[in-house]
Structure 1
């Protein structure tokens, strides 16, 4: 181990790249960028390649920075959990100094690129980092309400795309925000149910009741219902220029019922397998409805 850098001197270029991908959670970052791009297409009258590039790279940098800051702060807790103990920092493959450098550089680059789109986009991007790193992350070991707080930065990407396209915040991006906001509760509580024992090792309080019990399962069902309702609200013509055709709304509603069925099955069985099914269905749901919203705009309207 190199005492200056804190990194393993035997590491290869490939392993360093792998560590970068892990410290920034590349797959998660790309899924967030996907949400932002969907929001951009919904808000843009005529999408521009340059703006999409700025949004994609800027958004990726903001999410990557948030994840790096998070892993710096939680490095000692990550070392206690099976699923995170081999992350770059707790495993000793990456120093805190290097991780912090990556986070700061990505923050500056991300804010700058989003500012080139418009100041509001840069503001919401910076706000998401602040809420995630300075509020959500410290609260995870204090209260289950951390999931509620974390849902705010987590709901920004879909909305961010609209703001990037229009430079304005109103009922349309607000609706996109609410869709992703309510979606996060069944998604993260299903994940928290699956990983409950591991989270306990790290001292994280992720489930609303602190247990895999009826109360948690009921709240998952309630938030799934709210998510379902919010997802089809644009069909009623009350969300400004964000509209949804009846066929698209019916399809989204049916998809929501599938996710609700998985939530009800978790309530009935209360096992990890049911929680995993719900978690996977939630990932499918949010991705597909964003695609449906975009296709509906350009095909049905």
Structure 2
């Protein structure tokens, strides 16, 4: 029983759910200028956790054939045979529906709609698009950037320009992050016919241009909240420092095109996001 429960938990990708929750709660905190309702925050966390977990399960259900071909995914619960495809499909649908119901009843309709939109774009658009077009990375960055909007909507019942800035930062940030992954996993992606830039352009010239472009524009995009009055000097200095550091690592990766520098960029992008969030919280609080 313990192994079965562990397999179901693994299927939900807890670490990704946790990161999504962090961005959602940040949106709630900034939108409400603090925690204005603990019960709403509680139901927001539960609802978003379930819908995101459900989307992850449904994604793995749809990609089970391809996951079995890739080294980094062949041991996932479905391709390894620990969970059947039908059981995973049922589990994913239940998680998604229960999560959406909680958000609709206990939070508000806008938050529920944004979660539904995230699930639809991730499962029904991004997932199949990986086998059709290299634009899947950009399209997939949209559902990845929606969670803070859901948090903002939960706190305010609406969306505004400042909420859009959170979306934009997350949207731009995902490109260098996932291009680094695409370079590291290009052989696996090629086996499955995934149309990543690192696959359709083996030399990587286009992908490297995109990597450098998004890393560069992330620097000015990240400080837009300073000019709208949402954040101040502390955030501005910190965002510029970490943004320029990631840009420097990106250009190093573009120059060398090595596995080691791809890993450095991946680590830098993972470090960047929580640092930006911490800076926002510190700046708005103090």
Same fold (TM over 0.5): yes
- TM-score norm. by structure 1 comes to 0.91
Q: What corresponds to 1:79 in structure 2?
A: 68
Shift of 1:158: 2.0
Q: CA-to-partner distance for each residue in 1:258-299, whole Å, 9 max, x for gaps? A: 111110110111011111111111111111111211221111
Using the TM superposition, name which of 190-199 and 204-213 deviates more. 204-213
Q: Which of 78, 89, 103 is the matching residue for 1:100?
A: 89
Q: What corresponds to 2:20 in structure 1?
A: 32
117 and 146 in structure 1: CA distance in 2 versus 1, 3 angstrom threshold? same
Q: What corresponds to 2:130 in structure 1?
A: 140
Give distance in 2, aligned partners of 1:212 and 1:165: 46
Unpaired runs of at least 5, structure 2:
none
8 Å CA contact 2:40, 2:107 repeated in 1: yes
8 Å CA contact 2:197, 2:206 repeated in 1: no
Q: What corresponds to 1:261 in structure 2?
A: 248
Matched, 1:128 2:128: no
Q: Which of 58, 61, 71 is the matching residue for 2:50?
A: 61
Q: CA-to-partner distance for each residue in 1:117-168, whole Å, 9 max, x for gaps? A: 1110000000000000111000101111111111110110122211111110
175 and 16 in structure 1: CA distance in 2 versus 1, 3 angstrom threshold? same
288 and 92 in structure 1: CA distance in 2 versus 1, 3 angstrom threshold? same
202 and 292 in structure 1: CA distance in 2 versus 1, 3 angstrom threshold? same
Shift of 1:212: 4.7
Give distance in 2, aligned partners of 1:155 and 1:250: 23
8 Å CA contact 2:234, 2:279 repeated in 1: no
Q: Which of 210, 213, 229 is the matching residue for 1:222?
A: 213
8 Å CA contact 1:266, 1:275 repeated in 2: yes
SS of the residue corresponding to residue 94 of structure 1 reads coil
8 Å CA contact 2:8, 2:83 repeated in 1: no
Q: Which of 147, 152, 155 is the matching residue for 2:145?
A: 155
Q: Which of 214, 232, 256 is the matching residue for 1:245?
A: 232
Matched, 1:235 2:222: no
Q: Which of 162, 174, 185 is the matching residue for 1:184?
A: 174
Q: CA-to-partner distance for each residue in 1:37-62, whole Å, 9 max, x for gaps? A: 11111111341221221111111111
SS of the residue corresponding to residue 197 of structure 2 reads coil
SS of the residue corresponding to residue 56 of structure 1 reads helix
Shift of 1:73: 0.6
Q: What corresponds to 1:10 in structure 2?
A: none
Using the TM superposition, name which of 208-217 and 221-230 deviates more. 208-217
Shift of 1:109: 1.4
Q: Which of 265, 279, 283 is the matching residue for 1:292?
A: 279
Shift of 1:14: 2.5
- TM-score norm. by structure 2 comes to 0.95
Shift of 1:251: 0.8
